[in-house]
Amino acid sequence: MEQTPEYVIEMLHITKEFPGIKANDDITLQLKKGEIHALLGENGAGKSTLMSVLFGLYQPEQGEIRKNGKPVKIESPNDATALHIGMVHQHFKLIEVFTVLDNIILGAEDTKMGFLQKKDARAKVKALSEQYGLHVDLDAKVEDITVGMQQRTEILKMLYRDNEILIFDEPTAVLTPQEIEELMQIMKNLAAEGKSILFISHKLNEIMEVSDRVTVLRKGKYVGTIDTASTTKEELSRMMVGRPVQLVVDKDPAQPKEAVLTVEGLTVPSKIHKNDAVKNVSFTAHAGEIVCIAGIDGNGQTEFVHALTGLEKASAGKIELCGRDITHLPIRARSQTGMSHIPEDRHKHGLVLDFTLEQNMVLQRYYEPQFQSHGFIRFGAVRSYAEKLIEQYDVRSGQGPVTVARSMSGGNQQKAIVAREIDRDLPLIVAVQPTRGLDVGAIESVHKQLVAQRDEGKAVLLVSLELDEVMNLSDRILVMYEGEIVGELDPKKTTVEELGLYMAGAKRQGKERESA
C-alpha cells in the first residue's frame, strides 16, 4: 500500500486576477486530513476568491491544486463535488418551500423508474445527523426553521454527498451566540471523524477556539501559516492587518457639554404587532459623549432609529436636535439640522447598489453648492471628493470611484458609508451597528474615528448588539428591552453579566430614572 500523503488538499501558488486588482497573488494553502484549518484575512483580502477557486467557480491564472498529492483540475462546482469538496456558503443555498430532507437530497436523489426513493435517504440522513449531533427536523419546511437549523441542513447536505473536505464561508456571521457554540462543537465532531475543514473567518475568538492551524492572507498575498496553539489573538491580528492592532480602543474620559439631542416620551407604533415598538423613550445625548443603546436585536432599536431619523413616524413624543424641534420635520431637514446616520441595513438604506462608489459618496450631499451649480452636477468635484474619502478612510475597490457599489466587498461597502457619514461633520452621529461585518483592523479604525468625533465635540448615538463594542466604546449605556429603556449604566461601573441581565429583561431600574 502506498503511503498516505500528508495533505488532502493543496493549493499551490494560486494567482487570480480581476481587472484592476490581484485578488490572489501566489497563495499556498495546505489542508491536512482531519484538521480544522482557518483562513484568516481582512475584508477583501482574497479569502472568498481563494475558496471560489477551490470550489471551481473561478479559474486561476497560475497555480496548481492537488488532492492527496495528485494534481487535479477543478473547472466547475461539479468537479469539486466529484472530488468530495463541499461548501457552506455565507448565504445559504436552500429552497425555502422544500422540506429539510428534500433540500438535502436535491441533486443527489435516488429514483426508481422516475419515482423518488426517499426511504433510504431518510435513513442515511438520520444516521448522519445522529453521528455528528446535527439536530434537524427532516420534515419541516426550510422557511419555518431557524437560521442555525438551516445551517445544519447545509452541513448535512455536504455529508450526504460523502464530502471529505468541507468549506465554511464565514459561517458564524448569521448566528446567535448559542448557535455559534453549537457550530463550534459540530465542527470539532466532524474533524474528529476524519473530515477536513476549511474555516473562513475574521473573528479571532472563534479561530482561537476551534482551529488547529491558521493561514493568514493580507491584500491578496500569503502571509503565513501557523499552529493556533502557539499563537495569540494579538499576533494573528498583527499578521492579518500588517501592524499591531488595538483590540480595545484607548479613550480619555468623556467630557459631556451641552445637550445635542433630547428625546422626550418617544413612542413608535410597530408594523408587525399591535403594541408599540418603542414606548415612551426619553434621554439626552450631549456633545462630547458616546451614548450607546444596547439591547438584543428586535427590542425596538430599529424602530427607534427610524423615528429619530425620520424614516418612520412617531405616534407621540418630541425630538429636539441642536435646540430645534425636529419631531415633524422631513428626513432632509433633520439631517441638515445636524444629524448624520450610519444605517443598520447597508444594502437597503445605506447604498444605491447600482450606483458607482462616487455617486454613493455624495448621496447625502449632492445638492450642496460644492457638488452642483444651477442643478448641474459638478462631476470633477464629486470625483475628487470621492477620491479623498477613499484615500482617507481606506475604502478598497477594483476601480476606485467608478466601481459599482454592488461589486464591492461588504466590509468596504460599510467603510464607504462610515466615511460618507462621518465626513459630513455634523453635531450628531447616529451609528447603528457601524462595525457589522468588519474585520478587526476596520473595527479598530471605525472605533477610533467615532472616539475622535466625540473628542471633537460631537454627540455619538451608538446602537449596537455587540457586547464588546458596547462596553469598550460607550460613555453611557442605555439598555432597551421591549421598546423601553430599562436601565442606564456606566460602562466603567458595570459588568458584561449585569448588562446581559438588563438586556434579557431580568433586571430593570426603578421609576426614579423616569422621573429624573
Chain positions 58 to 97 lying near other proteins, rule: CB under 8 A, are: 58-59, 61, 90
Q: Is residue 187 within 8 Å of 25, Cβ to Cβ?
A: no
Chain positions 401 to 420 lying near other proteins, rule: CB under 8 A, are: 402-404, 406-409
Sole binder of other proteins in the list 396, 415, 436, 476 (CB under 8 A) = 396
Nearest approach, Cβ of residue 419 and other proteins (Å): 15
Q: Which is nearer to other proteins, 64 or 182 (CB)?
A: 64
Number of residues that bind other proteins (CB under 8 A): 57
Q: Does residue 366 belong to the site contacting other proteins (CB under 8 A)?
A: yes
Sole binder of other proteins in the list 25, 29, 38, 44 (CB under 8 A) = 44
| Site pattern 301..330 for other proteins (x: CB under 8 A) | --------x-x------------------x
Nearest approach, Cβ of residue 348 and other proteins (Å): 5
**Grid coordinates in use for 194?**
476524519
Sole binder of other proteins in the list 5, 12, 13, 18 (CB under 8 A) = 18
In the 8-state DSSP scheme, what is residue 356?
B
What does the alpha-carbon distance between residue 260 and residue 320 come to, in Å, rounded to a whole number? 8
Chain positions 180 to 219 lying near other proteins, rule: CB under 8 A, are: none
3-state secondary structure 429-489: EEEECCCCCCCHHHHHHHHHHHHHHHHCCCEEEEEECCHHHHHHHCCEEEEEECCEEEEEE
What does the alpha-carbon distance between residue 213 and residue 198 come to, in Å, rounded to a whole number? 10
Chain positions 258 to 287 lying near other proteins, rule: CB under 8 A, are: none
- What is the DSSP pairing of strand 62-67 with strand 7-18? antiparallel
Number of CB atoms found within 10 A of residue 27's CB: 26
Buried b (16+ CB within 10 A) or exposed e, 226-255: eebeebeeeebbbbbbeeebeeeeebeebe
Q: Does residue 400 belong to the site contacting other proteins (CB under 8 A)?
A: yes
Report CA Rg, the chain: 25
Q: Does residue 340 belong to the site contacting other proteins (CB under 8 A)?
A: no
The stretch among 114-122, 144-152, 391-399, 463-471 that binds other proteins (CB under 8 A) is 391-399
Q: Does residue 49 belong to the site contacting other proteins (CB under 8 A)?
A: yes
Nearest approach, Cβ of residue 3 and other proteins (Å): 37
| Site pattern 90..129 for other proteins (x: CB under 8 A) | x---------------------------------------
Q: Which is nearer to other proteins, 169 or 289 (CB)?
A: 169
Query: Which amino acid type is present at position 179?
Result: E
Nearest approach, Cβ of residue 279 and other proteins (Å): 25
Q: Is residue 59 within 8 Å of 65, Cβ to Cβ?
A: no
Max intra-chain CA distance, the chain: 83
What does the alpha-carbon distance between residue 244 and residue 242 come to, in Å, rounded to a whole number? 7
Nearest approach, Cβ of residue 465 and other proteins (Å): 20
Question: Which of 407, 395, 408, 444 shows the shortest CA–CA distance to 242?
Answer: 444
Nearest approach, Cβ of residue 17 and other proteins (Å): 7
| Residue 369, φ and ψ in degrees, nearest 5 | -55, -25
Where does this chain bind other proteins (CB under 8 A)? Answer: 17-21, 23, 44, 46, 48-49, 52, 57-59, 61, 90, 220, 309, 311, 330-335, 341, 343, 348-355, 359, 363-364, 366-367, 371-372, 375-377, 396-400, 402-404, 406-409
